[in-house]
Amino acid sequence: MIELGKVQELEILRTKEFGVYVGEKAGDEASVLLPKKQVPQGAKVGDKVEVFIYKDSSDRLIATTGKPKLQVGETALLEVKDVAKIGAFLDMGLEKDLLLPFKEQTHPVRKGEKCLVTLYVDKSHRLAATMRVYSHMSNQSPYKADDWVTGTVYEISEKLGAFVAVDNKYYGLIPKQELFGSFREGEEIQARVMKVREDGKLDLCARDKAYIQMSSDADKVLKVIDEFDGVLPFNDKAKPEVIMREFNMSKNAFKRAVGRLLKEGKVKITEKTIERI
């Protein structure tokens, strides 16, 4: 069966001046045009070619030997090439751009932005993209606790945290209590697997384990103190939001870093400040 939105190997059934028709096997009525400019040099009737099936501007099935960035059911990070009245158009690696309808956007996208989308066939039997990728994620990841992974942030919830598509296909979540710093939808990040839940979903953290992270946090604290000419205008009793604003870390992480600097004799704490020694 010739499948819309899929890469498949089809046979050249007959040739025309404007291209060749491909199908599953000789004698099949179902066939799709592969335009002349897409036909591999020297290809002839009976040869097999790997093609992607999509629809042209006249809504007819057409084949291409071009390689799409995703197939139906797959998820990928695509760039917005343009925004029009019916939605946004994304670069999926082919001559024809992919439509992302307004109703399938989780936020209004802009030209040049990259967004994580899944390719699907809509009710009109056309290819389209959706940013609602959660249901397309898999819980069968190969990762375990303490592995570092790469993923794309695709949704941020004030109550739950940041949802991350690990390898753009596995369920991942940075819980709210681990959400230090600024994250944005479409951002590619590195994260550590804190645990694998019973349902196979991954709890993530964008920071290393405390005893490892402490060293880089201490360096960051020293750098900020130097920016204040060696005297930080508050100490380790400062409010968490002040620490987050200045250091992009939690109060506990800040106190651990300052403790390390104290032990190493690099700073001293007064009633109102932390000073470089």
pLDDT digits (tens, 9 = 90+) for 144-182: 998 999 999 999 998 999 999 999 999 999 998 887 767
Model confidence over 176-185: pLDDT tens digits? 888 776 788 8
pTM over 0.75: no
Domain chopping of the chain, boundaries: 7-64, 75-134, 138-205, 210-276
Alpha-carbon distance of 22 to 140, in angstroms, equals 36
Same fold yes or no, 7-64 and 75-134: yes
- In terms of residues, how long is the chain? 277
At the top level of CATH, the class of 210-276 is mainly alpha
Q: Cα torsion for 207, 198, 135, 153, to the nearest 10°?
A: 0
Least confident of 45-49, 84-88, 138-142, 254-258: 254-258
Question: What 3-state class would DSSP assign to 249?
Answer: coil
**pLDDT at res. 19:** 93
Please identify, in words, the CATH class of the domain defined by 75-134. mainly beta
Of the listed ranges 84-88, 89-93, 122-126, 240-244, the least confidently predicted one is: 240-244
Contact criterion met (CB below 8 Å) for 105 and 88: yes
Confidence of residue 212 (pLDDT cuts 50, 70, 90): low
* pLDDT value, residue 196: 96
Exposure class string for 189-218: b at 16+ Cβ within 10 A, else e: bebbbbebeeeebbbbbbbeeeeebbeebb
For the segment 28-37, what is each residue's pLDDT rounded down to a tens digit?
A: 678 999 999 9
Contact between 65 and 94 (Cβ < 8 Å):
no
Q: How confident is the model at residue 210 (pLDDT cuts 50, 70, 90)?
A: low
Report the b/e string of 31-65 with b at 16+ CB within 10 A. bbbbeeebbeeebeeeeebebbbbbeeeeeebbbb
Q: H or E element: which one contains 215?
A: helix 210-227
Q: Note the pLDDT of residue 209.
A: 56
Protein fold of 7-64 = OB fold (Dihydrolipoamide Acetyltransferase, E2P) (2.40.50)
- For 138-205, which CATH superfamily applies? Nucleic acid-binding proteins (2.40.50.140)
Q: Which amino acid is at 58?
A: S
Q: Chain-centre distance of CA 102, in angstroms?
A: 19
